[in-house]
């Protein structure tokens, strides 16, 4: 009988007004005739954009179908009990050739109230950044709803936003409710809840070839925004070589970074969760009892929950993001 194995999926390419060419030039993915590619979804359970397996005997099956069939063996018993047949995380790579819209995402409570599924907490890991690259995360001063609305009405929202300089390997955690925007020159991996709900607040006065701007959602965003100013917006973490280092831990996901040049043995049995490995540098061979699979920069693999022991062998010095619930 065929048993579950680490799964790779066909990439889902997204043409975006702000997208560039780095998905092709730096990650080696062919996005065909699209003029640009702003996002590639490498693991998705989002309705209408479900990932399709590209390796092994399950090739051609959609991810959520496999969750329905294999249940806890694939995702972990506690996770299947909570999320049912929907895979709970969405993994993307994003190439920003221009500013993304200033936006915010709802939390779980607001999403339930509005009947739009899950909220959207996310994090970014920077694979590369051009010189002078910046992003927006949160506010640069003490903020409240009235002050925010005054700046929005007077079209000077940019004056109250917090800009952060960005370099390779930087991490930013973006909980639901935090106003944010990715800036031009960034190539990043995004880990998020399974949700495609985005409330655009400001889109830099852009218009398409017909002179039409994208829709804004300023009213919907108002109840979603967390107005509290934070002391720091960038995530600090250790990256000790040949060890697993925690980067982000929240109730939506845990992300570690594995930076290594020697074989690492992993015991995953106690997690009761699938584990996603995302290649952000170099090439890695992942070995389990029944076989092996290569993870290159720009690829992601789901290791099913029933696989308890694996080896990670770097072909050169490599970095992986390790994600689970």
Residues 125-179: tens digit of each pLDDT: 999 999 999 999 999 999 999 999 999 999 899 999 999 999 999 999 999 999 9
For residue range 245-293, list pLDDT tens digits in order: 999 999 999 999 999 999 999 999 999 999 999 999 999 999 999 999 9
Question: Residue 275 and residue 28: Cα distance in Å, rounded?
Answer: 24
For residue 154, give every residue at least 6 positions away whose Cβ sits within 8 Å of its Cβ, in sequence order, or none: none
Known active-site residue 200 = yes
Residue 210 has pLDDT above 90, yes or no: no
For residue range 88-136, list pLDDT tens digits in order: 999 999 999 999 999 999 999 999 999 999 999 999 999 999 999 999 9
Instruction: Give the predicted TM-score (pTM) of the model.
Output: 0.96
- By CB atoms closer than 10 A (0-12, 13-18, 19+), residue 260 is buried
Query: Strand, coil or helix: what is 310?
Result: strand
For residue 220, give every residue at least 6 positions away whose Cβ sits within 8 Å of its Cβ, in sequence order, or none: 199
Q: Which of 24, 178, 200, 206 is catalytic?
A: 200
| Torsion sign over Cα 236, 239, 243, 244 | positive
Residue 1 has pLDDT above 70, yes or no: no
To the nearest whole percent, how much of the chain has pLDDT over 70? 100
Report the pLDDT averaged over residues 39-63.
Answer: 97
Residue 212 has pLDDT above 90, yes or no: no
Residue 77 has pLDDT above 70, yes or no: yes
Question: Residue 59 and residue 54: Cα distance in Å, rounded?
Answer: 5
User: What does the DSSP 8-state code read for residue 9?
Assistant: B
């Amino acid at each position: 009988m065929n048993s579950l194995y680490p799964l790779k999926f066909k990439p889902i390419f997204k043409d975006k007004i702000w997208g560039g060419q780095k998905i092709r030039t730096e990650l080696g993915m062919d996005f065909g005739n699209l003029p640009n590619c702003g996002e590639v979804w490498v693991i998705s359970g989002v309705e209408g954009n479900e990932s399709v397996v590209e390796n092994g005997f399950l090739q051609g099956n959609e991810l959520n179908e496999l969750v329905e069939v294999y249940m806890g063996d694939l995702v972990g018993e506690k996770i299947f009990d909570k999320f049912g047949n929907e895979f709970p995380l969405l993994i993307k790579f994003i190439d920003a050739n221009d500013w993304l819209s200033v936006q915010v995402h709802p939390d779980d409570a607001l999403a339930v109230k509005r009947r739009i599924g899950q909220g959207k907490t996310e994090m970014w890991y920077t694979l590369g950044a051009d010189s002078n690259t910046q992003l927006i995360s949160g506010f640069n001063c003490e903020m409240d709803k009235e002050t925010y609305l005054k700046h929005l009405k007077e079209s000077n929202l940019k004056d109250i936003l917090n800009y952060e300089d960005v370099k390779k390997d930087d991490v930013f955690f973006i909980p639901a409710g935090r106003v944010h925007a990715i800036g031009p020159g960034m190539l990043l991996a995004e880990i998020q809840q399974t949700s495609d709900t985005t409330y655009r607040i400001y889109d830099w006065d852009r218009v398409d070839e017909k002179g039409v701007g994208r829709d804004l959602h300023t009213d919907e965003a108002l109840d979603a925004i967390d107005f509290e100013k934070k002391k720091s917006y960038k995530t600090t973490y250790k990256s000790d070589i040949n060890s697993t280092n925690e980067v982000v831990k929240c109730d939506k996901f845990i992300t570690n970074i594995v930076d290594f040049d020697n074989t690492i043995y992993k015991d995953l049995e106690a997690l009761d969760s699938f584990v996603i490995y995302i290649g952000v540098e170099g090439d890695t061979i992942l070995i389990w009892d029944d076989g092996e699979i290569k993870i290159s920069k720009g690829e992601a693999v789901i290791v099913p929950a029933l696989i308890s022991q694996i080896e990670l062998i770097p072909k050169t010095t490599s970095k992986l993001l390790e994600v689970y619930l």
